[in-house]
Amino acid sequence: MAQHNLFGQEAEQRALHYLKQQGYTLLKQNYRFGKAEVDLLMQKDDNLICVEVKARSTDFFGTPEQFVSSKKKKLLVGAVDHFISSFEMNLEVRFDIIAFTIKQNQWKLKHIKNAFYAFE
């Protein structure tokens, strides 16, 4: 497997561990619908949280969260809509980004709640 794929998988596992420590429950990891893949679908209280995990070994070219394009956001919204319909869920939806950068061999995590909205 390519090194960047392993890096991404490690970032997802770190994000999942962090969210579980914060009291979130995993509903689905790597949920696919059409061309979209939602990294983590979590629940906390009456909220469904769609989490996009981004990791970069440097922020020289921009922060990880800046690499979530408008196209990606639209794909995520469509996938989450399908997930909600498929499982007949009645939860408030929130879109978060967990961004990792590595500085001096240390993983730095930034959790951006309500990073974007479905109607943007």
Provide the phi-psi class of 105: left if phi over 0, else alpha when psi is between -120 and 50, else beta.
left
What's the CATH number where 35 sits?
3.40.1350.10
Structural domain span for residue 61: 3-116
Residue 76 scores a pLDDT above 60: yes
d(CA 39, CA 96): 11
Total count of domains within the chain: 1
d(CA 2, CA 7): 9
| Confidence class for position 119, pLDDT limits 50, 70, 90 | confident
Q: Do the Cβ atoms of 102 and 91 come closer than 8 Å?
A: no
Residue 2 scores a pLDDT above 60: no
Residue 1 confidence (pLDDT): 55
Residue 6 confidence (pLDDT): 79
- Tens digit of each residue's pLDDT (9 = 90 or more) over 30-44: 999 999 999 999 999
| Largest Cα span, the chain | 45
Q: Which helix (H) or strand (E) holds 101?
A: strand 92-103
Residue 4 confidence (pLDDT): 58
